[in-house]
């Protein structure tokens, strides 16, 4: 019997029809059987404010518990102004507090960035990697995933338009499953 890992998927874009949400859903459909990808919503999280730490908002508690109960985290994000979107940064701040009780601590993770441009969210990918290093998150080092051409990425049914893109992402997800197993096994 193979082991199954729950993966909290954090989507950096809040837009309902975002390319990154489409990517997260498409990844869930092609993930190997040992990975169960589940989107954990970040849009309703109040801004992190340490003044609220003693009595955290319910949304913070729910979010922290969802990440803590997962075996791993997958970040799927666009790039805003050569960095990560504010909503995703807020989720990282909410989940990493209070100090010493980070929901991300020790969780194996991977970063996928997708953008309409040719650089595929390179800046956001590397800024996110910097933050995750600070959060003691064992991050899949390779292959790195920068996907450009977001507008042409998907068919109408949400599947990948190009077989070579799907094949690459299946390979990355298989590598990620092994990475999670290495850190959780």
- pLDDT tops 80 at residue 185: no
Q: How far apart are CA 181 and CA 161, in angstroms?
A: 30
- pLDDT tops 60 at residue 69: yes
**Structural domains in the chain plus CATH codes:** 5-184 (3.40.50.360)
Residue with tokens 């949304």: 59
This prediction's pTM? 0.97
pLDDT in tens, 30-62: 999 999 999 999 999 999 999 999 999 999 999
Backbone CA torsion sign across 46, 112, 20, 124: positive
pLDDT in tens, 158-184: 999 999 999 999 999 999 999 999 998
Residue with tokens 């990808």: 37
At 161, give phi and psi (nearest 5°).
-75, -30
Query: Are residues 114 and 153 in contact, defined by beta-carbon separation less than 8 angstroms?
Result: yes
The SS3 of residue 154 is: strand
- pLDDT tops 50 at residue 1: no
């Amino acid at each position: 019997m193979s082991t199954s890992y729950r993966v909290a998927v954090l989507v950096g874009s809040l837009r309902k029809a975002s390319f990154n949400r489409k990517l997260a859903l498409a990844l869930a459909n092609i993930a190997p059987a040992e990975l169960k990808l589940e989107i954990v919503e970040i849009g309703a999280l109040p801004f992190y404010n340490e003044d609220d730490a003693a009595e955290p908002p319910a949304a913070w508690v729910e979010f922290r518990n969802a990440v803590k109960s997962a075996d791993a985290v997958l970040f799927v994000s666009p790039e805003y102004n050569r960095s990560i979107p504010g909503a995703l940064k807020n989720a990282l701040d909410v989940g990493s507090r209070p100090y010493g009780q980070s929901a991300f601590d020790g969780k194996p993770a991977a970063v996928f960035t997708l953008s309409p441009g040719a650089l595929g969210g390179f800046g956001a990918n590397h800024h996110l990697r910097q933050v995750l290093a600070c959060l003691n998150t064992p991050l899949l080092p390779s292959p790195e995933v920068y996907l450009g051409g977001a507008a042409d990425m998907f068919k109408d049914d949400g599947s990948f338009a190009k077989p070579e893109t799907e094949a690459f992402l299946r390979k990355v997800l298989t590598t990620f499953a092994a990475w999670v197993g290495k850190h959780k096994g």
